[in-house]
Amino acid sequence: MIDTARPTRPTPRHSGDGAVRGTLPPAEPLEVAARRRRRAGRRRNAVTDLLGILAWVSAAVAVMLWLVSPGSHTVVGIGGWLTDAGIVAGLVATDLVLVMLVLAARVPLIDRTFGQDNAIAVHRSLGKPVLYLLLAHGALLTLGYGASAGTGPIAETIALFSTPDMPLAYLGLGLFVAVVVSSLVAVRRRLPYEAWHVIHLLSYAAVLVALPHMLSVGSVLAQGTWQRVYWIALYVLALGLIALYRFALPLVVTFRHRIRVVGVEPIAPGVVSIHLAGRDLDRLGTEGGQYGVWRFWTARTWWHAHPVSFSAVPGRDRARITVRDLGAGSARLGRITPGAFVSLEGPYGLFTSRARTAPYLALVASGIGITPVRSLLEDTDLRPGEATVLLRGTDADQQYLWHETADLAEATGSRLYTMVGHRSRSRESWMTEEDVRRGVSLRSVFPNLLQSDLYVCGPRAWSDLVVREARLAGVPEHQIHQERFES
């Protein structure tokens, strides 16, 4: 490990392409800043709790509306019990599907509160439970109707296909099965991103084609009831948020700022910085550490959107992202020619100084994970000695943007460490073999670790090891901020 701590000088502000554009006013005292951050953290936690409660309340309301319907009080025999269980499973599943859509809609309030990566993690975790509930919904209703009519499952299934809107319901179930199966890790690794993305878009079609049978079959959503009004409003809300934040707003942002590629700069084997120009890019409201979802409108790249962090805070008319070749899609970005038109969703992410609650700052980055760490360091008001930065790389080819980060550390009076070498053979450590032998730890690199907000970004398996050590060292969960990049 090499300690490259730098002397102090005034903190610069960069214009998005490396140019200094002035100096910051003096930072507020550490204890004042810490109290302000703790108050902001409590407000975020309160909003997080409220949104979580609302999600559970929506599922409870779905069941309650069934309980107050006339049909729930006329249970007769085993067929009635099976039918009612199937109805409950279907209502809860539908509610959770709509929650999944809202979580994937990139709503700014959800992003600022949970972080989009956390919202998508919850979205993914609901996939299997929803699938099981939908399968139970279909099976229980088929068995229940069959038991009540004295027919077998096959005959009842054939009869259901002749019921208006039921073929659409079966189609919706089949589409959702395809979406969930394609999202399984073992399956997704074998699918090209483009194929997976197209299959995943079928979830919108699954929701739409399932709606008619909800409105036309059964008495729970009978015409003229409050239940019908509630579910239609829920559908309008979920699909409206998708339409607004996934389609309409990105179009507005794209045409307002008119972003285009002005240069592609190779900085290491398989890594390029893409320089962008546009109008009023500083009004995007980007904070250091955030990312956008970028779509480059060329013949080879237009169908593939890329979530990529800003590697510098945008200036008035310039911005920059830095991309590593992690597959066929990202490899094409290195061959984009200047002048290509670019559309943007975002910025997104909680990997920013706004999430801080502690008086000190600890930054750890590996590989292309340097990009949000570099922009976070650029965009954070720091006192000398307040921040410590650790950069990790296997060899010289992985030292992306290290010189820029070192200059920022020097300018802010931050301590900078570099750690170069292959991972320890035990694979249980995120450090090099030499550092393991020397007894290096997070506590030795960051003396104020327990009083620091720890920001970690790098390959998933590596960053998980860093976070595990931080937790074992006693760093509170709310002081750990993790951004994962696939290795």
The least confident of 277-281, 310-314, 337-341, 422-426 is 422-426
The CA distance from 173 to 203, in Å, is: 10
Closest by CA position to 79, among listed 182, 127, 150 = 150
Structure-model confidence comparison of residues 150 and 465, the more confident one? 465
Tell me what the mean pLDDT of segment 44-59 comes to: 72
Looking at residue 328, its pLDDT comes to 57
pLDDT at residue 1 greater than cutoff 50: no
**Token representation of residue 68:** 């107050």
> What are the pLDDT digits (tens) for 437-453?
888 889 999 989 999 99
pLDDT at residue 421 greater than cutoff 70: yes
pLDDT band at 286 (very low <50, low <70, confident <90, very high): very high
The least confident of 28-37, 89-98, 261-270 is 28-37
Residue tagged 């729930």 (tokens): 72
> What are the pLDDT digits (tens) for 83-137?
888 888 988 888 888 888 888 888 888 877 777 777 877 888 888 888 899 899 8
pLDDT at residue 52 greater than cutoff 60: yes
**Burial class of residue 464 in the structure, from the number of CB atoms within 10 Å of its CB (0-12 exposed, 13-18 middle, 19+ buried):** middle
What's the count of helices (H) and strands (E) in the chain, helices before strands? 17, 14
Tell me what the mean pLDDT of segment 280-295 comes to: 91
Residue 280 · residue 318 · CB < 8 Å: no
The CA distance from 155 to 137, in Å, is: 18
Q: Is the pTM of this model over 0.85?
A: no
Angle at which helices 127-149 and 166-183 cross, to 10° = 150
Looking at residue 150, its pLDDT comes to 83
Report the DSSP pairing between strands 20-23 and 12-14: antiparallel
User: Could you tell me which residues are beta bridge partners of residue 50?
Assistant: none
Looking at residue 23, its pLDDT comes to 38
Cis peptide bond prior to 347, omega within 30° of 0: yes
Question: Of 26-40, 317-331, 408-422, which one has max mean pLDDT?
Answer: 408-422
The CA distance from 43 to 355, in Å, is: 11
∠ Cα 333 339 344 (to 5°): 60
∠ Cα 81 86 90 (to 5°): 150
∠ Cα 199 201 207 (to 5°): 110
> What are the pLDDT digits (tens) for 209-226?
887 777 666 555 666 677
Residue type, 122: V
> What are the pLDDT digits (tens) for 338-388?
999 999 988 988 899 888 888 899 999 999 999 999 999 999 888 899 999
> Cα-flanking dihedrals φ and ψ of residue 32, to 5°?
-70, -45
Tell me what the mean pLDDT of segment 22-47 comes to: 53
Tell me what the mean pLDDT of segment 304-332 comes to: 84
Q: Which bin fits 231, alpha (ψ -120 to 50), beta or left (φ > 0)?
A: alpha
